[in-house]
Amino acid sequence: MRTGFHKGGLSVSTRKWSVDLARTDTISSTERLLELIRGKNDFPSSPPETPPAAPRRSVFFDTFALRKPITIGVNISYQDLKLVKISRTSDTKLELVDFLEVPFEAGMSASSTGFPQFLKKTLTGFCSGFKHLEIWSVISSARVEIRYLRIPRIPRKQLPNAVLWSFRKEVTFNEKEDIFDFEVLGEINDKGVRKTEVMACSAPREEIQRLETLFLKAGWPLSGVTIIPFAIQNLFRTGWIEGKGKNLCCLYIGRDWSRIDIFSNGNLVLSRGIKAGMGSMIEAIRQELFKGASNHAIEMKNPVGLESMEPVEEVLPEQVEAARDIFFGFIEDASTGKEIAGFEVQKNDILRMILPALDRLVRQVDRTLEHYSMHFQNQGISRIYFSGPIGGQRLVINHIGEQLGLPIDTLDPFPEKSLVREGIQIPRTAREREFFVPAVGIALSSKAVTPNFIFTYKDKANVLKNRRINHSVFATLILLMMASIGTYFWQARAIVLKKAEVQALKSQAAKLTPYLDRKLIGELLEEINRKRLSVKTLSGRYLGLAAVGEISFLTPSAIRLSSIITEMGTPSTDKNKKKKQNNLLILDGVVYGNRLTFESLLADYLMKLKASPLFDRPTIKRKAFEFIGNQEVLRFTAEIQLMET
């Protein structure tokens, strides 16, 4: 299934149809831009005459308005350039800022060498004074393949491969020559099985690069590239046009072919091109008016300029032009008929002439709608919308609606509920407004809503991955910051407590008298040292007497001392060669009692002497058994070193 559309424009009449761009004085700059592009003027060296002042708004309002993200929709048709500027403060709040239609100069087309400069001048004048711009445009959908797929529920990481292989089963494409993209529409219950609805598409890489190069040469790089069916999808998704019904059909009737787009809940699920259009209706009028004329083959010019045309048997160019004038006068709803070949053609006569061709178109549309109902859970179409020049002729669209048995409506890109900036005058007639359907739909594009062939699912996955990394880093930094803040407050609290403690100590110290300082502490230390020296002198003086008293106290009744000799001040040298005074006690005594207990009594005595704080290292120098009278005793001599004072 191939989609198709004419190259941006919806007007196929050979007449140059221009929307009335009458504005208030606030858009006189747009009029000057038109004059410049048409070659009637150069850029003025001095400012033109100042127009009447518009209602003045505050500087804050103007500054805030310039910061709003602006989307520019650029629709390049075969004979003019249509631009729409929409301000997007959120996905639900939109405002139409301006729109413009600029006819091409004679002999100019999108492939002309001077077209990039023409595009640059137009965009520069249209976008001046605005920042944060996103520029979107469209490629032909004739070579774009679109498929609605239902994929079993699988992990998100496996979904791209599953969609790609499911798409390959229905469409053959080359990844080097085509760009593949898909969009997840939601979940659906398919015969009791939960599946994922996916819209997948592929587009020729060369055509996308050609369009990108064109805008780069113009100095205004593109933010997005899409197709007209997705632009119309924007109208429903953003709520710019309120779709009356769940399943809607949009029918565009072109020169030699037409396009059927079916939307379910605002999502494009089916797009089909059919070879039937206004060309066959014009041919029917020609055959009816000029019966019997000599025929010769003439190849009709294709006003759309996209697809090759097959030679059509024509009589004379004048006959073709006459039939075309009659047809377009009819669809423009002209009030009077036009006299051709001696008779006047009325509306009902023209409708009768084109009915066979129109019915063939209706049958193909009906088969497409039946196919949708059969393969999409038996869901019927609730309303059909018309676009293209023929949508302005109520007789034709009423006939199609009656044949299909469906309510009819036309796409109006300037609905009453839309937000239009004050001072912008919208086209008066429905036909004039309908010409801007593609451009308005393009201007409603965003990377979150619209499939974008220069920002595919791979780019979105990379952005999501980077966003997750950024969020992780940000969360880590937040945790570190919170920990640092907690540590800071904890330390601040500790400092406060320490300061309070210091202050309390200072208060306590202030109550002490006298106040302690270095000098006083030094004096107290000297006094203490003097007292210690005095105590030490006294202890040395009475050390011998204290030692005799300690020995008298520790000596048991079984031991009797015969002599106590003190040797005070005996010099000696320790292992570090430092001299000191050694004070010794020499004890002579006798141990009475049982011979078997002499040694134990003497050892116990020595242990008591050693435990005394006055004595150190008591040793036995001599001992021997003797008799005193008839009693055996143990005589000993002990040497005891006195502790230093």
Label the pairing between strands 224-226 and 133-138. Answer: parallel
User: Which of these three, 407, 435, 470, is where a domain ends?
Assistant: 407
Q: How far apart are CA 642 and CA 618, in angstroms?
A: 9
190 within domain boundaries? no
Q: How far apart are CA 195 and CA 520, in angstroms?
A: 93
Q: How far apart are CA 62 and CA 467, in angstroms?
A: 32
513 within domain boundaries? no
Give the chain's residues under pLDDT 70: 1-68, 90-91, 291-315, 333-344, 377-378, 417-418, 513-516, 569-581, 644-645
449 and 376 inside one domain:
no
85 three-state secondary structure: strand
Q: How far apart are CA 525 and CA 26, in angstroms?
A: 97
All residues at 6 or more sequence positions from 228 whose CB lies less than 8 Å from its CB, including other chains: 5, 8, 138, 141, 252, 259, 438, 441
CATH label of the domain that carries residue 444: 3.30.420.40
22 and 121 inside one domain:
yes
Residue 179: is it exposed, middle or buried by C-beta count within 10 angstroms (0-12/13-18/19+)?
A: buried
pLDDT of residue 77: 86
534 within domain boundaries? no
What are the DSSP E strand ranges found in 523-598? 559-573, 579-591
pLDDT in tens, 22-47: 333 333 444 444 444 444 433 333 33
pLDDT of residue 43: 36
pTM, whole model, 2 decimals? Answer: 0.64
331 and 230 inside one domain:
no
What separation in angstroms does the CA of 335 have from each of 329, 340, 345, 347, 374?
9, 16, 12, 9, 43
74 and 44 inside one domain:
yes
336 and 303 inside one domain:
yes
User: ∠306-309-314 over CA atoms, to 5°?
Assistant: 140
pLDDT in tens, 204-263: 999 999 999 999 999 999 999 999 999 999 999 988 888 777 889 999 988 878 899 999
* Kind plus residue range of the DSSP H or E element containing 502: helix 457-511
What separation in angstroms does the CA of 529 have from each of 516, 523, 524?
18, 10, 9
606 within domain boundaries? yes
Q: Please, what's the b/e burial string for 479-489 (b: 16 or more CB within 10 A of its CB; e: otherwise)?
A: eeeeeeeeeee
400 and 545 inside one domain:
no
524 within domain boundaries? no
pLDDT of residue 548: 84
For residue 631, what are the β-bridge partners?
Answer: 628
pLDDT of residue 332: 76
User: Which of these three, 343, 375, 407, is where a domain ends?
Assistant: 407
pLDDT of residue 296: 44
What separation in angstroms does the CA of 123 have from each of 113, 132, 144, 350?
17, 14, 27, 42
394 and 426 inside one domain:
no
CA 454 from chain center: how many Å?
18
189 within domain boundaries? no
397 and 367 inside one domain:
yes
CB contact at 8 A, 582 and 641: yes
User: Which of these three, 348, 378, 407, is where a domain ends?
Assistant: 407
pLDDT of residue 574: 53
Q: Which amino acid is at 546?
A: A
Range of the domain at 605: 540-642
Q: Please, what's the b/e burial string for 499-513 (b: 16 or more CB within 10 A of its CB; e: otherwise)?
A: eeeeeeeeeeeeeee
How many C-beta neighbours within 10 Å does residue 562 have? 10
425 and 299 inside one domain:
no
251 within domain boundaries? no
Domain count, the chain: 3
436 three-state secondary structure: coil
User: ∠183-188-194 over CA atoms, to 5°?
Assistant: 110
CATH label of the domain that carries residue 585: 3.30.70
77 and 221 inside one domain:
yes
Q: How far apart are CA 306 and CA 212, in angstroms?
A: 18
386 and 435 inside one domain:
no
258 within domain boundaries? no
221 and 312 inside one domain:
no
Closest by Cα among 370, 433, 323 to 84: 433
pLDDT of residue 13: 32
CB contact at 8 A, 637 and 621: yes
Q: How far apart are CA 87 and CA 96, in angstroms?
A: 6
